[in-house]
Structure 1
Amino acid sequence: MKAHDIWLAGTGVYLPASRYVAQSDGTAPASTLNRTNNRRTRVAIAGDISAPDMALTAARRALAAARAHPADVALLLYASVWHQGPDGWGPHHYLQHHLGLDHSLALEVRGGCTGTFGAIDLSIGYLNDRSTAETALVIASDNFGTKLVDRWCMGPLSGAVGDGAAAVLLSRTGGLARILSSAGTTFSEMEEVYRGDEPLFPPPVTEGRYLDFGARAAAFQRRAMREGSWLRLITDHRAHVQEVVEEALADAEIGRGDIRKVLVNTMPESTAKDYLDSFGFTLEQSSWAHTEALGHLGAGDHFVALHEMLAAGALRPGDRVLLTGFSPGITYKAMVIEITMADPS
């Protein structure tokens, strides 16, 4: 999809000051250390600060960075991965309440680790189709510090998860980066990777069962290998990763050589290298070094990375940047932006 005259007007983040290391000093269980080969894994930990409260801070910072007022916001979309608060309650309405956005449409987006991409796609359509709508606010936030998840190792390739929030304000009137294109595709046969042998009812969390993506993926792999479909599935997965990048580049009317940096989900170094190599880039060309000390922040990785790289001077006006990733389902997303301002504040 080509994006016409839609900009990222401002970014804001909330990152906890605390950084913890998984090592044999008691900060991580022995089972985790065994699975992570005793490597020192750093993550951001928010303690008892809720995800919606981190989101509120990030949103206010994004509005301030864009010199925008809540009255300007026509749409609020909130992306999350983990539990947000009381069951049956909407964190997007909490943000709407405390930001003063009762005049805006507010919705929660459950798109996994690419939830912000889906929210931005929806925002582009909303802004283009409504003559009076000038800005949309997209927020992602998660706090994984609960009993039913091992933040230090979500799965064999996933690495550790961290806490934090990112917000980005989209505008029709200019900003720090122009969206050139957005692309997406899916491979729904692979939803079984994240379901494994778990029953659909009752939901595991209602019975106090642990979230273990590693066990689910292992169960899926055993079944696929028995059926003789494993190699095809892995090959098709890699093809989808490449396809979505190719589509985003084609719609932006640029090639790989025009890309200055690639922003990806935070993951272990070896996994990141293999992933980037699959569509023609290196670790050094990516955002990995700017976010590896934070852990995987759910749907917030890419826009935390963008904010941090702009603040560090790693991106300059004229740079074309590729953002890409995938999430359980599997949904594959990619976006190309062009930096127009160097300072996110």
Structure 2
Amino acid sequence: MTTRTFEDLYIAGCAAWLPPAVPVPETIARRTEAVSVTVAGAEDSGPGMAARAARAALRRAGCGAADVGLLLHAALYDQGHELWGSASYVQSLALPGARPACPALEVRQVSNGGMAALELASAYLRAGTDRPAALLTAGDAYRPPGFDRWHSDPGTVYADGGAALVLSRAGGFARLRSLVTCSEPRLEGMHRGDRPFGRAGTVDLDACKRQFLRRVGRPAAVAWVASGQRRALTGAVEAAGIGLGEVDRFVLPHLGGRRLEAAYFLPFGIDPERTTWGWSRGVGHLGAGDQFAGLARLVEAKEVAPGELVLLVGVGAGFTWSAAVVEIVTVPRWVD
């Protein structure tokens, strides 16, 4: 487990670019409690949507290309081409003309990719660089035949879209107070199942889960998941010097309602009204981008005020869990 506390790192800007939403089919809505999901057009790619969000986040941060010393692009699903650098594509669209160009790297930590990027960028900026900011992006488009947004992962509806966040030493509207990431590799088989290595047909995570549970047993798997989640959440709030009850708003992964209840609402006593669930159930799971998009939504909707604390929570197959305490310090200029 890594635990970091900060005094001088800020979120200078964040944004999401989401395509239009479509209604969730009735049978899926009953299972997930989702009402709609954003679906990209044929011309929209995951990295392309990430770049749109990145440009908006940079504008909001008042940050130029010359200020960015690192770009990290997180993705869960196929980015559109083989043997190709999607992070460099995002860089070419979001930071054109920057010379010398900063490192642009891809982060593959599935649904926890955005938070993993935040972890890496915080260490990079604290190590001392000549540029004060890092640009973090996420973007995915879940298309058949490889992925079925309705059925590949029952309990969660997958959404297309991009999100971005600018982390900076030079100030911002929110201060990053703490960040914890922990891992449990005994759970990696839950998303692999018994399949041999190599490409398969349509992703079927439910089948992988059933195969994994037959091997290790449900009690062990449930205990490992619960332990990892608790270590991340309690570790982040303790590192920030607060209690969980002092958190004003929670940005949770955009899972289905039943999964959120089982993983967060009941175990931690989190009131759904203090989360982004009311909004995220109309968007869907953005893969690695839930936390960046959720924070942007809270700020845009004026649902947070200076002095309030926000807990960003992420989880990804593997498993890894991350949680970060963010303190709102000012109302940013880009809020109407």
TM value normalised by structure 2:
0.92
- Deviations, residues 114-135 of structure 1 (Å, cap 9, x unaligned): 1111111111111111241200
Please name the residue that 1:342 is paired with.
Answer: 331
Give 1:41 deviation, angstroms.
Answer: 4.1
| Backbone CA RMSD of aligned residues | 1.8
Among candidates 204, 218, 227, match of residue 210 of structure 2? 218
The Cα of 1:36 is off from its aligned counterpart by 5.5
- Residues 250, 45 of structure 1: alpha-carbon distance in 2 compared, 3 angstrom cutoff: same
Give the aligned residue type for 2:107.
Answer: V
The 1-side partners of 2:28 and 2:210 are apart by 17
In the alignment, residue 224 of structure 1 is paired with which amino acid? V
Structure-1 residue corresponding to 2:40: 46
The answer to which of 318-327 and 335-344 deviates more is 335-344
Tell whether 2:107 aligns with 1:112.
Answer: no
Residue 196 of structure 1 aligns to a residue whose secondary structure is coil
Give the one of 111, 121, 124 matched to 2:122: 124
120, 136, 139: which is aligned to 1:138?
136
- Secondary structure of the 1:185 match is strand
Q: Please name the residue that 1:311 is paired with.
A: 300
Does the 8 Å CA contact 1:322/1:335 hold for their aligned counterparts?
Answer: yes
In the other structure, the counterpart of 2:59 is: 64
Distance 1:38 1:261, change over 3 A: closer
Which string of whole-angstrom CA distances, capped at 9 and with x for unpartnered residues, describes residues 245-296 of structure 1?
1110111111112100111111111221221122331222211112111110
Residue in 2 aligned with 1:320? 309
* Match of residue 15 from structure 1: 18
Checking the alignment, whether the CA contact within 8 Å between 1:264 and 1:286 is kept in structure 2 is yes
Tell me if the contact between 2:138 and 2:288 (Cα under 8 Å) persists in the aligned partners: yes
Q: 1:178-207: per-residue Cα shift (whole Å, max 9, x none)?
A: 00000011111111111111112x232xxx
Residues 232 and 321, structure 2, Cα contact 8 Å, conserved in 1 = yes
**Corresponding residue number in structure 1 for 2:199:** 203
CA distance in 2, matches of 1:260, 1:176: 16
Q: Which sections of structure 1, spanning at least 5 residues, go unmatched?
A: 24-32
Opposite residue 256 of structure 2, the aligned amino acid is P
1:151 to 149, 157, 179: 149
Alignment counterpart, residue 243 of structure 2, candidates 255, 262, 268: 255
Is the 1:193–1:216 contact (alpha carbons within 8 Å) kept by the matching residues of 2?
Answer: yes
> What residue number does 1:167 align with?
164
- Deviation, structure 1 residue 344: 6.9
Say which of 157, 176, 181 aligns to 1:179: 176
8 Å Cα contact 2:144/2:202 also seen in 1: no
Following the alignment from structure 2 to structure 1, what is the Cα–Cα distance between the partners of residues 105 and 149?
27
Q: Which residue of 2 aligns with 1:287?
A: 276
Match of 2:73 among 78, 92, 96: 78
Q: In the alignment, what sits opposite 1:331?
A: 320
- Equivalent in the alignment of 2:220: 232
Conserved 8 A contact 2:177-2:326 = yes
Distance in structure 2 (CA, Å) of the matches to 1:263 and 1:117: 12
Any idea what the Cα deviations from partners look like across 1:146-199, whole Å, max 9, x if unmatched? 321110133233x11011111101110110110000001111111111111111
The whole-number CA distance in structure 2 between the counterparts of 1:40 and 1:4 is 38
Alpha carbons 2:32, 2:257 under 8 Å: kept = no
- Is this contact kept in 2: 1:44–1:163, CA < 8 A? yes
User: Counterpart in 2 of 1:95?
Assistant: 90
Q: Which 4+ stretches in 1 moved above 3 angstroms?
A: 33-41
SS of corresponding position for 1:9: strand
Aligned residue pairs: how many? Answer: 326
TM, length-normalised to structure 1: 0.90
CA distance in 2, matches of 1:103, 1:236: 42
Check conservation: 2:32, 2:258, Cα contact below 8 A.
no
Equivalent-residue separation in structure 2 for 1:148 and 1:262 (angstroms): 32
Checking the alignment, whether the CA contact within 8 Å between 1:307 and 1:344 is kept in structure 2 is no
Q: CA shift at 1:242, angstroms?
A: 0.8
CA contact (8 A) 2:47 2:90 kept: yes
2:33–2:257 contact (8 Å) kept in structure 1:
no
SS of residue in 1 equivalent to 2:24 = strand
- 1:3 matched to 2:1? The reply is no
Give the unaligned 5+ runs of structure 2.
Answer: none
